[in-house]
Structure 1
Amino acid sequence: MDSGKAMASTPATTQLTPFKYSNRVLLKTILERSDGGLELIGQRVLIGGWVKSSKEVMKQTPPPPHLPAADHETAREPEGKSGVSCVEILQSRIPFLRTIVKVLGGSSSSSNTLRERLDAVFKPAPPSTAFLKVSDGSCPATLQVIVESSIVPPCQLLHTGTCITVEGVLQQSLVQSKHVVELRVEKVLHIGTVDYSKYPLSKKRVPIEKLRECFHIRARTTTVGSVMRIRSALTFGAHTFCHNHGFISVQVPIITTTDCNGFSEKYKVTGLFDKAGQTEEPKAIAEIEGVSLEAIKAAAKEKSSLVEELKRTDSNKEALAAAVQDLRKTNELASQLEAREKSKLKTSQKLDNVKSSEGSSSSSQTFLTVSGRLHLESYACSLGNVYSFGPRFRADKGESPKHVPEMLMFEIEMAFSQLEDVMNCADDFFKFLCKWVLENCPEDMKFVTERIDRNRIDRLQSVISSSFERISYAEALNVLNKVTDKKVETKLQWGAALTEEDLSHLSDEIYKKPVIVYNYPKEAKPFYVRLNDDGKTVAAFDMVVPKIGKLISGSQNEERTRILSTRIEDLGLPREQYEWYLDLRRHGTVKHSGFSLEFDLMVLFATGLTDVRDAIPFPRSYGKANY
Structure 2
Amino acid sequence: MMESQQEPKVTIPPLIPLEYSNRVMLKTILECGDDQIGLFGKTVVVGGWVKSSKEVKREPVAAALKPPTAAEAFPPSPGRKELSCVEVVQSRIPFFKKIIRVFGVSSDSYPGVREKFEPVPKPPPPPPSKFFLQISDGSSISSLMVVIDSAVVPVSAGHVLPTGTCILAQGVLEKSSSHGKQTIELKVEKILHIGTVEPDTYPLSRKRLPLDSLRDYPHIRPRTTTVASITRICDTLDFAAHTFFHNHGFLHVQVPIITTIDSEGFSEKFQVTTSKKWGLGSGSDADVRHETVKAEQHIEARDKSKLGTGVKPEVKEDFFGRQSYLSVSGRLHLESYACALGNVYSFGPRFRAEKTGSIKQVAEMWVVEVEIAFSQLEDSMKCAEDCFKFLCKWILDHCPHDMKFVTKRIDKTIVHRLEYMMSISYERISYREAVDILRKVTDKTFETKLRWGVPLTAEHLSYLADDHYKRPVIIYDYPKAVKPFYVRLNDDGKTVAAFDMVVPKMGTVITGSQSEERLDMLSARMKEFDLSRDQYEWYQDLRKHGTVKHSGFRLGFDLMVLLMTGLTDVRDVVPFPRTHGKANN
Give the TM-score normalised by the residue count of structure 2: 0.83
Does residue 577 of structure 2 align to residue 619 of structure 1?
Answer: yes
Change in CA separation of 1:363 and 1:15 when aligned onto 2, cut-off 3 Å: closer
| 1:277 paired residue among 263, 274, 281 | 281
Q: Any residues of structure 2 matched to 1:368-407 within 5 Å, and which?
A: 368-407=326-365
Q: Deviations over 1:429-488 (max 9, x none)?
A: 111111111111111111111111111111111111121111110111111112223341
| Residue identity matched to 1:136 | D
Task: Give, in whole Å, the separation in 1 of the partners of 2:418 and 2:76.
Answer: 76
Q: Which residue of 1 aligns with 2:260?
A: 257
Report how far residue 53 of structure 1 moved. 0.1
CA distance in 2, matches of 1:191, 1:231: 30
What is the alpha-carbon distance in structure 2 between the residues aligned to residue 226 and residue 537 of structure 1?
43
Q: Which residue in the other structure is 1:340 paired with?
A: none
Question: What is the Cα deviation at residue 174 of structure 1?
Answer: 2.4
Contact 1:36/1:181 (<8 A) preserved = no
State the partner residue of 1:38: 37
The residue aligned with 1:533 is 491
Return the offset for 1:599: 0.8
Alignment of 1:440-479 (within 5 A): 440-479=398-437
Matched ranges for 1:128-527 at <5 A: 128-150=129-151, 151=153, 152-273=155-276, 277-278=281-282, 355=313, 364-488=322-446, 492-527=450-485
Deviation at 1:214, TM superposition (A): 1.0
8 Å contact from structure 1 (residues 541, 553) kept in 2: yes
Question: 1:363 touches 1:576 (CA, 8 Å); kept in 2?
Answer: no
Conserved? CA contact 2:407–2:413, under 8 Å: yes
Structure 1 residues 98-139: Cα deviation after superposition (integer angstroms, max 9, x where no partner): 9999636335999xxx99x957x6122122211110001111
Q: Residue 563 of structure 1 aligns to which amino acid in structure 2?
A: M
| Aligned-partner Cα distance in 2 for 1:536–1:164 | 65
Alignment partner of 1:253: what SS?
coil
For 1:12 and 1:163, how far apart are their aligned partners in 2?
31
> Which of 93, 101, 105 in structure 1 is aligned with 2:93?
105
Greater Cα offset, 453-462 or 596-605 = 453-462
Any stretches of 5+ residues in structure 1 without a counterpart?
1-10, 65-80, 281-351
Find the counterpart in structure 1 of residue 16 from structure 2: 17
Matches of 1:105 and 1:138, distance apart in 2: 64
Q: In structure 2, what residue type is equivalent to 1:164?
A: I
Output the amino acid matched with 2:66.
G
**Contact residue 552 and residue 597 of structure 1 kept, 8 A:** yes
Alpha-carbon distance change, 590 to 392 in structure 1, aligned in 2, over 3 angstroms: same
CA 1:193–1:472 in structure 2 vs 1: closer, same or farther (change >3 Å)? same
Name whichever of 505-514 and 549-558 sits farther off: 505-514
1:333 corresponds in structure 2 to none
Query: SS of 2:575's equivalent?
Result: coil
Whether the aligned pair in 1 keeps the contact of 2:16 and 2:24 (CA below 8 Å) is yes
Q: SS of 1:576's equivalent? A: coil
In 1, distance between residues paired with 2:412 and 2:43? 38
1:23–1:363 distance in 2 versus 1, CA, 3 Å: closer
Contact map agreement 2:490 2:496 (CA 8 A) in 1:
yes
TM-score, normalised by the number of residues in structure 1: 0.78
Does the 8 A contact of 2:519 with 2:543 survive in 1? yes
Give the structure 2 partner of residue 324 of structure 1: none
Gaps of 5+ in 2: 1-9, 99-115, 285-309
CA RMSD of aligned residues (A): 3.0
Q: Secondary structure at the match of 1:387?
A: strand
SS in 1 for 2:486: coil
Alignment-mate amino acid for residue 21 of structure 1: Y
C-alpha deviation, 1:364, in angstroms: 2.9
- Secondary structure of 2:240's aligned partner: helix
Q: Is the contact made by 1:145 and 1:182 (CA closer than 8 Å) also made in structure 2?
A: yes
Structure 2 partner of 1:574: 532
SS of corresponding position for 1:459: helix
| d(CA) in 2 for partners of 1:255, 1:90 | 87
Identify which range, 177-186 or 147-156, moves more after superposition: 147-156
Q: 1: distance between equivalents of 2:77 and 2:30? A: 56
The corresponding residue for 1:606 is 564
The amino acid across from 1:103 in the alignment is: S
- Aligned pair in 2 of structure 1 residues 90, 590: CA closer, same or farther (>3 Å)? farther
Any idea what SS the aligned residue of 2:367 has?
strand
Report if the CA contact (8 A) 1:515-1:543 is conserved: yes
Instruction: Rate the CA distance shift 1:109–1:398 in 2: closer, same or farther, 3 A.
Output: farther
